[in-house]
Structure 1
Amino acid sequence: MTEFIRTPDENFVALEDFKFRPNYHQWQDMRVHYLDEGPRDAPVMLLLHGMPTWSYLYRDFIIPLSQAGYRCIAPDHLGFGRSDKPTDIHWYTIARHTEVLSSLLIDLDLKKINLVCQDWGGPIGLAQAAMMPDRFDRLIIMNTWLHHYGYEYCENVKQWIAAWKDGGFFVREKPDVALIPLLDAGLITRSDLYEASVNGTEPPMSDNTRQMYNGYFAPLKNLPDEAYNGYRRFPLSIPMDNFHNGNAVAQEMYYQILLRWSKKVDFIWSLEDEIFTESLGRDWCKRMNGFFTPVAGAGHFLQNTHAREIVNHILSNA
């Protein structure tokens, strides 16, 4: 039996910008949380998050997409959001995250899927389209990657991995990961992040900034340090030097399969991402014969700051 921590429901009650009903899928002895909004017989928008986010990342997508006639499914990976959180850091592998998502799609018998993926939602979600292409109608790819031969990891990726290894910046008890999306959105500074992480000094926050912080902190509020292990494991699973945890061989296979993808594919790519650059996105889009939409002024977590623009692109190109 896997030991895990379950975030109390009361952690989410005060989230005024996230009033969606929780749903749960049973995977072995754990609960996988997902949102299910919109008509049940409609085409599906499968909204996948990465690190250090959860389905809250898509809070401004769900209502307009469901009102446009889509069924929005937004799961939380195990270790994140309202999903259960295994305490053993070695439990977390990309292959296992992929297996869990597959079980959810099969259990719900989802078809006519429009995949919306970003960050780790890419390797985990694109694997589903490669393995079960008949369930998918469209790929909407945002600032992510699939490991493959010749992929060059930039210096910022190397620094991100190092920050989670022994002696790294985030190697501390209960690292305040909820500040990372705020930094990306330009709502706090790197100095604010440093002071908060090292000295426990809370950065100045406007009401809107505080609301976003509370959203990303809610899954971890009042939980022990072991609840953070899913967050710790994602950076250490990047298959730059850890091929097994990152499911590198399978990612290479999925990448090659999807180069032959014949259905619709859209790349919606932020231009200020220091990891997944514009040139990387354009090159991948060209290889897949996709349609490239740049999003100016957005960082890595473009869903936080440019939701309306992205939703409009999704709907106008449907």
Structure 2
Amino acid sequence: MQVLRTPDDRFSGLEGWPYAPHYLEIENPDGPPLRLHYVDEGPRDGAPVLLMHGEPSWAYLYRNVIAGLVAKGRRVIGPDLIGFGRSDKPASRADYTYERHVAWMSRWLTALDLSGLTLFCQDWGGLIGLRLVAAFPERFAGIVVANTGLPAGSGMTEGFKAWLTFSQAVPLMPIGMIVNGGAARNLTPEEVAAYDAPFPDETYKEGARQFPALVPVTPEHASVAQNLEAWKVLERFERPVVTAFSDADPVTHGGDAMFQARMPGAKGQPHVTLKGGHFLQEDCPDDIVAVIDGLISRRP
């Protein structure tokens, strides 16, 4: 496995990104160890919040959410998935599988020994983050689910089908413009550039290329069985679960109903529909902060 590492100077002076990098080297049985980047802000004794990003973004997506939660005294941890942000990037598409992503993040989570977590997950942050909940339910005190799912071979929306087709066919993957197109507002040129920063050229984008094809939307996809097993755990998860999907996301529209129906912790919770596109973190960060902080404040 060949591994690429984005030069540090690509992350200098990014708009709205004052956060110091933290790194953890994780075991990778199929190749060299991988360096995983994460943000860790706020008081060490604050209620810990885990922010999980998806495709093709990185922790930068949460920059305003991080600031809002820290202002409320919360500890905020935001990792970059392998292949994204400041984390290492295996150079071949074949290096990326759903189960490897889950294993990489599981090693990171247990190495840091994180517990008492409130998870906020969106896009692939949910596909991986909810698998972490299923694997380590004792480490999670609550979940906010937004614009994501945990599919197990039961089909796809027309919005996801269009994204899958585009992602596999476009010759040059315009990462910053993809995020801009998935937000309801127009990002500034500096913000678009920050999403492009992790990828000096197309060779760094193999993870971003592969992610859409890994979503297990058909019975023939890998990881269907693992997700079905994860749902068995989630269907017994009684700690608070709040859905906060947005009102203008064609990819995951209506997906909140499944979590409300299947997860016992969702019963009686103040579920909300927020204003925004697929990348609602860019459209309504203050509302996201309020949802997360409210869940924490209501807990005994």
TM (norm. structure 1) is 0.86
Map 1:1-318 onto structure 2 (within 5 A).
2-28=1-27, 29-148=33-152, 151-165=154-168, 168=169, 170=170, 172=171, 174-187=172-185, 209-220=188-199, 223-241=200-218, 243-245=220-222, 247-277=223-253, 279-289=254-264, 290=266, 291=269, 293-318=271-296
Letter in structure 1 aligned against 2:239: K
How far the C-alpha of 1:56 sits from its partner, in A, is: 0.4
Q: Which runs of 5+ in 2 are unaligned?
A: 28-32
For residues 101 and 15 of structure 1, do their structure 2 counterparts lie closer, same or farther at Cα, with a shift above 3 Å needed? Answer: same
Q: Structure 1: how far apart are the matches of 2:24 and 2:242? A: 29
Secondary structure of 1:63's aligned partner = helix
Q: Structure 1: how far apart are the matches of 2:158 and 2:283? A: 25
Give the aligned length: 288
Q: Which runs of 5+ in 1 are unaligned?
A: 189-207
Q: Structure 1: how far apart are the matches of 2:204 and 2:218? A: 25
Secondary structure of 1:16's aligned partner = coil
How far the C-alpha of 1:296 sits from its partner, in A, is: 4.2
For residues 242 and 116 of structure 1, do their structure 2 counterparts lie closer, same or farther at Cα, with a shift above 3 Å needed? Answer: same
Instruction: Kindly indicate whether the alpha-carbon contact (under 8 Å) linking 1:17 and 1:59 is maintained by their aligned counterparts in 2.
Output: yes
Instruction: Kindly indicate whether the alpha-carbon contact (under 8 Å) linking 2:244 and 2:273 is maintained by their aligned counterparts in 1.
Output: yes
How far the C-alpha of 1:243 sits from its partner, in A, is: 4.6
How far the C-alpha of 1:218 sits from its partner, in A, is: 1.0
Letter in structure 1 aligned against 2:196: F
Residue deviations 1:4-40, cap 9 Å, x none?
1111111111213011000111023221000111122
Q: Structure 1: how far apart are the matches of 2:185 and 2:67? A: 25
Instruction: Kindly indicate whether the alpha-carbon contact (under 8 Å) linking 1:187 and 1:209 is maintained by their aligned counterparts in 2.
Output: no
Between 1:104-113 and 1:279-288, the stretch displaced more is: 279-288
% of aligned pairs identical? 34
For residues 160 and 133 of structure 1, do their structure 2 counterparts lie closer, same or farther at Cα, with a shift above 3 Å needed? Answer: same
Instruction: Kindly indicate whether the alpha-carbon contact (under 8 Å) linking 2:184 and 2:276 is maintained by their aligned counterparts in 1.
Output: no
Secondary structure of 2:256's aligned partner = helix
Instruction: Kindly indicate whether the alpha-carbon contact (under 8 Å) linking 1:117 and 1:142 is maintained by their aligned counterparts in 2.
Output: yes
Residue deviations 1:260-313, cap 9 Å, x none?
111111111101110111x32123213224135333431111011100011112
